[in-house]
Structure 1
Amino acid sequence: MNFKDTTYIIMGGTTGMGFAAAKALIEQGAKVLAIGRNQESCENAENELGSNALVYSADATKPETMAKAIQMAHETFGTIHGLFHVAGGSGRKWGDGPLDQLTLEGWNKTMELNLTSMMLSNQAMINYFLEQKTPGVILNMGSVLGYSPSPKYFVTHAYAAAKSAIIGFSKSIAAYYAEKNIRVNVIAPSLFSTPMAKRASEDEDILDFLRTKQPLDGGRPGESEDINTAVLMFLHPNSKFITGQVLAVDGGWTLSEGQYQ
């Protein structure tokens, strides 16, 4: 795909799937502004992405983060064509888990990390498209856990609620802004080997479970690059007739029962 003369912001673009997408977009000719929370990952991304990228270290849960990112990208690269929101995280350490054990802090922090941050980035991007009177695209990161639960190994009910809400939120704004030629879609991955999923992707019992739960390509966790084809498809200007869709990139997760040893 040719992404020449296009610019994208990736919220959560300095590690994992966001970083893989940033590299893929740049390889296809796009300009990218990648936002990351960790200063070290931002420095590494800056070194690897090269001159067609800007890297900005900031917190996705702060309203000023996206406003600043839009200003930087527009001033440096010109018109912004889309947003890929990847940023999110587990609330386990604050108390996310089964409902009978879920803490209010765990609930609130999980929603802030995954849903509030997305609302803020999407809102700022929508306002930019409206102000510029230009079409645009937003791609949001969901999860198969938002609609295909796994009750033994993946029991974080606030996280599942947040990822389910992302689908409803994205479809709702896709419907409302379609007449402005602003498209909004969702990618829903299964278990991938990313920094956030380190606990699960290094657990031998879970890896055994994955061999039947997401059986494609040998039954393995996804690699960050496995989402790139879907990301490029949704973000490309030629996908102008696709909005309000949820695409599972899950190795077969939603089709398979998964067997316990």
Structure 2
Amino acid sequence: MTGATGIGAAVALRLADLGHRVFVVSLDPDECRPLVALLGDQAAGFSAADLRDESAAVAAFTAADEALGGVDLVVAVAGGSGRGFGDGPLHEVTLQAWEETLRLNLTTAFLTARESVRRLRRTGGSLVLVGSVLAARPSPELFGTQAYATAKAGIAGLVTTLAAMYVNDGVRVNAVAPGLVRTPMARRAASDPMIQEYARRKQPLAAGMIEPGTVAEAVCAIGLAECVTGQVLAVDGGWSVTEA
């Protein structure tokens, strides 16, 4: 699984609770170590790798394959906000900000998907990617990060094309598209009263921000569902069906 905080950590812990051995791939070893410790006997190890880098991604998946004795489920959570690069309304976005945001959110998904499929084709299995509700249900006033939304829309396209390409190999490819989740990436939102009020109206089922464990439940459900492929499941507390 890729990602060691927020949704990634919640998914890893949920999979461990379900009896799965988990190998963690994430950029920061200081985030990987405490998660692996929490996984206890279900931990298969970790690799600190920048999944924007092809050689690092290949090495990380090789390590995971060896540690697990084969890969049958991959959950790709790695990614993050592009605000630090300058992501925002398109007329203000530089080419560098655009490219860096897509590298962080779409290139990581591509390399993770490619390395996953190369292994899953051997015996079948499941890949779950993480998109965003913003790809299809934008909120320009509060979340006007257009490179990020485009990258997440690209993940939805990747799901459809990969599911069609590899269905006869027994490989299932799906995604979840969360709404506003209480993660380290959402610190700005968590500290902004206007966004918090918006979240209470926009995500009424969560009465505000969604907890990572809620998303993890959906990730595990769709990832382990044997006859489901090519789907993007919104886990958004009602965001996509409310007017607020």
Asked if the contact 1:33/1:69 (under 8 Å) is kept, the reply is no
Q: Deviations over 1:17-55 (max 9, x none)?
A: 011000010111101111111222122212212232112
Secondary structure of the 2:47 match is: strand
Q: Does 1:212 align with 2:212?
A: no
Secondary structure of the 2:98 match is: helix
Asked if the contact 1:17/1:225 (under 8 Å) is kept, the reply is yes
Asked if the contact 1:190/1:222 (under 8 Å) is kept, the reply is yes
5+ residue gaps, structure 2, are: none
Give the superposed CA RMSD. 1.2
Secondary structure of the 1:138 match is: strand
TM-score with structure 1 setting the length = 0.90
- Partner of residue 36, structure 2: 46
5+ residue gaps, structure 1, are: 1-9
Amino acid at match of 2:69: G
Count of equivalent residues: 243
Note the 1:1-261 alignment, pairs <5 A.
10-12=1-3, 14-53=4-43, 54-130=45-121, 133-217=122-206, 219-236=207-224, 239-258=225-244
TM-score with structure 2 setting the length = 0.96
Query: Displaced runs of 4+ in structure 1, greater than 6 A?
Result: none
Asked if the contact 1:95/1:102 (under 8 Å) is kept, the reply is yes
Question: How far did 1:194 drift?
Answer: 0.6
The structure with the greater share of residues assigned to helix is: 2
Asked if the contact 2:126/2:172 (under 8 Å) is kept, the reply is yes
1:74 & 1:168 partners in 2: Cα distance? 27
2:48 & 2:187 partners in 1: Cα distance? 22
Question: How far did 1:174 drift?
Answer: 0.6
Asked if the contact 1:110/1:158 (under 8 Å) is kept, the reply is yes
Asked if the contact 1:37/1:57 (under 8 Å) is kept, the reply is yes
Q: Deviations over 1:146-175 (max 9, x none)?
A: 000001100001011111111011111111
